[in-house]
Amino acid sequence: MWVGVLGAMEVRDTAGDPIAVGGARVRALLAMLAFDAGRVVTAERLIDGLYGEEPPGNAANALQSQVSRLRRLLGRSGAVEFHPAGYRLAVRPEDVDAHRFERLALEGRRALAAGDRPRAVTLLREALALWRGPALPDVGDAPSVRAQAARLEEMRLAVVEERVEAELAAGAHRTLVAELRDLVAAHPLREGPRGQLIRALYGSGRQAEALAVYEEARRTLAEELGTEPTAELAATHLAVLRGDPLPAVPAAPQIDSPAVRQALTAQLTSFVGRDGEMARVATLLEEGRLVTLTGPGGAGKTRLAVEAAARQPGEVYFVDFAPLGEGDEVPQAVFGVLGLREAGLTPVPDRPPADSVERMIAALAGRRVLLVFDNCEHLVEAAAGLAGRLLGACPRLRILATSREALGITGESLCPLPSLAVPPPGTPAPRALGYPAVRLFADRAVAVLPGFTIDEASVEDVLRICRALDGQPLAIELAAARLRSLPVAEVATRLADRFRLLSRGSRTAQPRHRTLRAVVEWSWELLDETERTLARRLTVFSGGAGLEAIAAVCGLPDDEVVELLTGLVDKSLIEVSGARYRMLNTIRAFCAERLAEAGEVERFRRSHADHFLDLLLAAEPRLLTADQLEWLASLDAERDNLHVALRRAADTLDVERGLRLLAPLTIYWWLRGLRTEGATRAQELVRAIGTRPPGGLEEEYALCVLSIASGGSHSEFGVHLENAVEAMVGSERPPRRPFLTMLWGMVAGIPDEESPGVAESRRRLLGADPWSQALNLVGEGLMSLYAGRLDEAERDLSAGLAGFRAIGERWGLVLTLGELVKIAEWRGDSARASALCDEALELARELGADEDIAERLCQRAGVRASMGDFEGGRRDAERAAELARRTGASEVLARAGQMQGRVARLRGEPDEARRLSEAALAVCPAGWFGAEESRTHIMIELGLTAEAGGDAPTALAWYRRALVAASGQRDMTTAALVTEALSGVALLEGDGERAALLLGAGTAVRGTAVAGDADVVRLRAAVREALGDEGYEKAYERGVSLTREEALALAGAPVDRRPSPSVPGTGPWPPAGAGGHGAHPDVP
């Protein structure tokens, strides 16, 4: 395949036939791959190159879409290959015209430098013949491609000039005049063609015209740039004016000549990552003449500058300002690197710097030079002043600077260096190695510990290291160096004291780069006292903060804060993203030490907690309204701050402030699907409380305890649960926080309607606000549902749904829709069940509630499996398990595992079904009602799997445990499922009549027959076939006619179902006989 970029994009197959590549973005993608023909281009670099600083929301998916389009257009060539690190165009560089052009140009220059002019002209003409027009005019505005096109156009002009030079040397003056006039007209500020035109005219005997060309050049340069012609052009003019022989033209340097790299130090280590930044620097140097790399110490500015400079044409000189102490040393450092001292430019004491700068300008005038000014931050004014003078007087000069602070002069282009990308937790080793931070760690680790590899055993420790160090290259290198004496897990653990751990760097490095502390101290010393004050106080924030929060917390005048923040951003002490300011972890740790030294820790942590408590109290009433998404987003932005305020309250035993923070946070956790995380944080606070709740905070205390219970086992917190129950039962009024009522019901489970005081207790606990009234209707519906009164349940649930719709509260809608799905399933209305599932899932996604999304996916998996869509059910269940693992929600993970087992069983894979169900039971926590319900359903699934394998005793044992659990929870819908499932055991034992009787008893327990349960439908058909229609109907009706108590007794349920004394109005918790995590029951 042939790819042409020297003109409009052109692609030809191996037969030479054209291939149309439509779409500017696709052509840009192909061009980027073609520029690196045969080499893998990382996805990060392709995204940066295609989209620049405004990538789409899901850039990886957008890139994959463009790659797929390109593959389709290229047909069966298979030219675009996927690799773990990116994509590769599988063609030879010679099959891309740009690569062939550069090769021919290089060979032509070498021939010219060797004095072989005829061969040079032939090669350079052959190179230029490859051009069909301007490079890539049809690729849109892809930044990387536009930069490459500009580079190629510059090379094209250089090759034209070199070819002309060779022909002039051969005496072809007359034939070149017309071509050179066109070149001058097209590029009036380019002095090379003007000088060649003057020489061509003079060589043709046209001295007057040659002098006129020079005068036009002088006038144009003065008007457009305010400069004079270069010394070389002036010398040519003088020779023409005097009629002397023209001065010799310097031999063209070879583009790979080491002379143009003389001032760049050879690097001893590989260069890892920064593909996007490398391309951006190249683009900025093409478009402008002053580029400054900014970023905190250790970000890799110097290394990137050296690597980028090494790829630039012309002369390159590197000047390190780090050892300098005073601004007047800056020009002398540049003199030394340029080799000008021996030319008599050694400074004289007390001589004005301007005189020295003028002589430097004279030395640089007319030369294509790139100066690298490294480490400008402590001499930023002097560096900026020199850069401005030199750039203004030397039009072919470019400067690439590195600094923790921008130089701040007109024409400067900034290239901030972000942290190296770090993969999210849980990324497997092969994928993790695709991230620059991990690749850098691996590369440097192998250097000190040969044989070190990042595998599944070590990858999480490496990710912890890279995250803790913010993806900063120097810190990562220092950490990797410690593997010489410490295991990687130990390095990860010891980063809590990072300044002690990372205190040994390279002996050849600058002192400020030898240790992590030295890197940050260098930046700290650049701050004035007020900036240091703000910097240390900012450390009370976690995860950054907005301007309003910083002004409120940090105790500085509002009108000063903006300027101080700007200064800290400019000096790379903090980063700004959108409207938020953030410190890197290492800088934050250093400044936190300064906060402690100032004795300000307690004061500003208290100020921080008070500010975010005010935010929570403002958000709380709005979280249960149609405005909840906006307020959830506000809390999302401050999630780290909210959690650190709560943790500090627990650590300092400030339980009153902790409870006030936690109460509104509980609503946030539930609505965002973070209840497992919330339970963990609530445990930290409860441990600090003692045995009795603080007076006046009973509701907040109850929310805290119920958060723990909803997140898993509560056995460690029994006394707190008793206290919470006492507070709830003793209350004579609805709670100030209506969410408490909901959480109480979710944890406690189904109330016993026959117990005295239950109805009165419910009435007391429900407020008159619209959300509480909608919740009350849902509660009534659930009681009817679990009691088997389907019509009443659907009526009340539908009314509650309408109430939540009127409010616009999505979480209540998700909860209610999930219960209505069950009714639709029981009635056999699969289409309605599926539609309700989809709506609930969409609302959960709007909320961004991963735990709720996982639960709705589990439910939809069951609906799909019942409809025979086993593949769709499997996908939903697997996705639910993935989300549950990511959020650490063990109960949801258990539910997903149970659903995976159910789908496998219905597909006819009993061994896989048993494995999945046993794994689900092993991870399912004991405790609150929802978790126990999940455990019960897993037991039923294990019984059904055993029954499917013909193992009646094992199935019976599982069903007995499940029935005990369901009865203890007063969950009649689940008890009915067990009763019906027991008919399968009876059928295996050859007792068809008992099987039919149990099916009828299941209907009696539930209160209604079900039409949509695949297992019940299967068992009814099997029993009917065994008994015949008449025998089945008689036995079934006998079962239906039983009272609920008689039906449960027939199934073998325990007779005594008295409520637990610990939680009035509820069943035992956990129910007797339902506990334990063993995967195998005792088989009778």
Question: Residue 970 half-sphere exposure, CB side, CA atoms within 13 Å?
Answer: 23
Count CB atoms within 10 A of the CB of residue 425: 10
Q: Tokens 């029951």 identify what position? A: 1081
Model pLDDT, residue 832: 95
Q: Cα 686 to chain center, whole Å?
A: 33
User: What is the amino acid identity at position 451?
Assistant: G
pLDDT at 258: 33
Tell me which of 1080 and 1030 has the higher pLDDT: 1030
Of 398, 376, 396, which Cα lies nearest the Cα of 291?
398
How, if at all, do strands 545-546 and 412-416 pair?
unpaired
Phi/psi of residue 277, each to 5°? Answer: -65, -35
- End-to-end CA separation in angstroms for the chain: 73
Confidence of residue 1083 (pLDDT cuts 50, 70, 90): very low
Evaluated on CA atoms 587, 589, 591, 593, the torsion sign reads negative
According to DSSP, the residues that pair with 397 across neighbouring strands are 369
Residue 1026 has a pLDDT of 93
Asked whether 364 and 254 are in contact (CB, 8 A), the reply is no
The pLDDT of 467-495, averaged and rounded, is 79
632 Cβ partners below 8 Å, 6+ apart? 623, 668, 671, 672, 847, 848
- Name, of 157-171, 238-252, 1063-1077, the range with top average pLDDT: 157-171
Report the pLDDT value the prediction gives residue 615, as an integer from 0 to 100: 95
Radius of gyration of the chain (CA): 38
Which DSSP string do the residues of 756-794 spell out, in sequence order? TTHHHHHHHH--SSHHHHHHHHHHHHHHHHHHT-HHHHH
Q: What confidence score (pLDDT) does residue 579 get?
A: 83
Q: Which amino acid is at 146?
A: R
Mean pLDDT computed over 443-467: 83
Question: According to the model, what pLDDT value does residue 427 have?
Answer: 82
Q: Which of 97-111, 694-708, 951-965 has the highest mean pLDDT?
A: 951-965
Greater pLDDT, 421 or 1030: 1030
pLDDT at 1084 over 70: no
Give me the pLDDT at residue 568, please.
Answer: 86
- The per-residue DSSP string of 868-923 comes to T-HHHHHHHHHHHHHHHHHHT-HHHHHHHHHHHHHHHHHTT-HHHHHHHHHHHHHH
Q: How do residues 211-253 score in pLDDT, each as one tens digit?
A: 998 888 888 877 776 667 877 788 888 888 888 887 766 544 4
Q: Can you state the percent helix, strand and coil of the chain, rounding each to 5?
A: 65, 5, 30
The model's confidence at residue 85, banded by pLDDT at 50, 70 and 90, is low
The mean of the pLDDT values for the chain is: 81
> Tens of pLDDT along 187-216?
888 888 888 888 888 888 888 888 998 888
Query: How many DSSP H helices and E strands does the chain contain?
Result: 49, 13
Structure confidence at residue 502 (pLDDT):
55
Sorted by sequence, the CB contacts under 8 Å of residue 911 that are 6+ apart come out as none
Q: What is the pLDDT of residue 682?
A: 85
Question: What are 318's strand-pairing partners?
Answer: 372
Average pLDDT over residues 1045-1066: 60
Distance CA 307, CA 312 (A): 9
Amino acid at 606: R
Fill in the DSSP letter of residue 431. Answer: H
Note the pLDDT tens digit of each residue in 38-67.
Answer: 777 777 778 877 887 677 877 778 888 888
Produce one character per residue of 698-731: b if its CB has 16 or more CB atoms within 10 Å, e if not: bbbbbbbbbbbbbbbbbeebeebbebbbebbeeb
Angle at 743 between CA 742 and CA 745, to 5 degrees: 65
DSSP letter at 56? -
More confident residue, 300 or 844: 844
**Most confident segment among 149-163, 909-923, 1005-1019:** 909-923
C-alpha triplet 876, 881, 885: angle, nearest 5°: 150
* Cβ within 8 Å of residue 620, ≥6 positions away: 663, 664, 667, 737
Q: What are phi and psi of 508, to 5 degrees?
A: -90, -5
| Residue 871 banded pLDDT, cuts 50, 70, 90 | very high
Provide the pLDDT for residue 1071: 30
pLDDT of residue 505: 47
Q: What's the DSSP call for residue 513?
A: G
Banded pLDDT at 451 (limits 50, 70, 90)? confident
Q: What is the pLDDT of residue 346?
A: 38
Confidence band of 924 (pLDDT split at 50, 70, 90): confident
- Give 164 or 730, the one with higher predicted confidence: 164
Q: How far apart are CA 1031 and CA 1008, in angstroms?
A: 21
For the chain, the farthest-separated pair of C-alpha atoms sits apart, in whole angstroms, at 128
Kindly report whether the peptide bond that precedes residue 247 is cis, defined as omega within 30 degrees of 0: no
Rounded mean pLDDT, 279-301 = 83
pLDDT of residue 462: 87
C-alpha to C-alpha distance for 399 and 923, rounded to whole angstroms: 61
Please give the backbone phi and psi of residue 835, each rounded to the nearest 5 degrees, phi first: -65, -40
Show the tokens assigned to 407: 């130089």
The runs of H, that is alpha helices, within 989-1013 are 992-1006
Query: Looking at this protein, which amino acid is placed at residue 992?
Result: G
When pLDDT is averaged across residues 937-942 and rounded to a whole number, the result is 94
pLDDT band at 343 (very low <50, low <70, confident <90, very high): very low
782-808 pLDDT, tens per residue?
Answer: 888 877 788 899 999 999 999 999 999
* Whether the predicted pLDDT of 1065 surpasses 70: no
Query: What's the token pair of residue 142?
Result: 């892809």
Residue partners of 463: CB distance under 8 A and separation at least 6: 422, 423, 425, 427, 432, 438
Asked if the model's pLDDT at residue 914 lies above 50, the reply is: yes
Percent of the chain with pLDDT over 90: 28
* Residue that the structure tokens 């009433």 belong to: 621
Q: What residues pair up with 81 in beta bridges, in sequence order?
A: 88
Pairing verdict, β 86-89 and 40-42: antiparallel
Determine the Cα–Cα distance for residues 265 and 1063; give it in Å rounded to an integer: 75
User: How many CA atoms within 13 Å lie on the side-chain side of 384?
Assistant: 15
In 52-122, where do the E strands start and end?
A: 80-83, 86-89
Q: pTM here?
A: 0.63
Phi, psi of 556 (to 5 degrees): -120, 155
Distances (CA, A) of 521 to 37, 276, 513, 544: 45, 29, 10, 21
